[in-house]
Structure 1
């Protein structure tokens, strides 16, 4: 059957890169796209730069968690001091404004952590061994650099 008369104008026939979507564990980096089509591994140098970027991104997640922990500890101490002095110096309304502002900042930090953790999950879901090792290395490095609060860690994804 002759289909030469059909319009295929919207089909991409370019010789550009393809993204492979693996659903099984692999070490293959040919046609590997990391999260975005534009983040395409085209050879050894781009793989190495990608792994370095993933290590930095994953370590950055621990930095955000540490910032959140420090802010919460600071705001809890400040809230205790404000409550003790508010009965003498401030009306209750000022304390509520500070509490509301503190809660908004905590919520923004929490939302950033959730977004970040899901992004890391997407990295891991490439099912590529190199990417998985980079995520683990970044978590290790991030804990060494920023994990001062406790040795017990919770799972990053919800």
Structure 2
């Protein structure tokens, strides 16, 4: 059964009264044709869906609570990214040093050493990284879907939480400086 007519009607910028919506769904099937999602940014706290069909914001207090929850979810996402990086650095197991000759000044030959670090596939650290990666992907999609509600309050919560999380956690992030890099 095609539902293309519902997709086209949801793209309309204005909302039609409920009596103009005709449902073609069979009895007993839930249809969301009466709810239209805003396609522009808005600052509303009434009838704001939040990720799940049963989770709808209807009061200023609920919006404040959702703002705080989304803010901390975005902070958690930033912290998770940095935590995964720190765990990866700690779990690196095989270190190899490779030396190669490079031309030096006045025709001399210098030996340049590079450190190569690897990780074993069948190890607890790699399994933990995999589980954390799955959590990170799910949280990132949740944040994207929250932002796509186009609710200004929730969008600000995502951006402010991500910024605050980056501020608090990114200073632990590894900075790699290649001293052999000649192009500046």
Range class of TM-score, shorter chain: 0.5 to 0.7
Name the structure with the higher strand share. 2
Q: Which residue of 2 aligns with 1:69?
A: 85
* Residue deviations 1:16-74 (CA, integer Å, cap 9, x gap): xx865212221222211111122211211111011000001110001111210111110
Q: Which residue of 1 aligns with 2:158?
A: 135
Residue 123 of structure 1, aligned match among 128, 136, 146: 146
1:22 aligns with 2:38: yes
The 5 A counterparts of 1:74-113 are 74-76=90-92, 78-80=93-95, 99-101=121-123, 102-113=125-136
Q: 1:100 to 1:109 in 2, by over 3 A?
A: same
Q: 1:75 to 1:33 in 2, by over 3 A?
A: same
SS at match of 1:38: strand
CA contact (8 A) 1:19 1:31 kept: no
Q: 1:35 to 1:20 in 2, by over 3 A?
A: farther
Aligned residues: 125
Q: Which has the larger radius of gyration?
A: 2
Return 5+ residue gaps in structure 2 as ranges.
1-25, 98-118, 176-184
C-alpha distance in 2, partners of 1:54/1:60? 10
SS at match of 1:69: helix
- Per the normalisation by structure 2, the TM-score is 0.59
Larger displacement relative to structure 2 (100-109 or 38-47): 100-109
- Per the normalisation by structure 1, the TM-score is 0.67
Greater relative CO (CA pairs within 8 A, separation 6+): 1
C-alpha distance in 1, partners of 2:89/2:174? 13
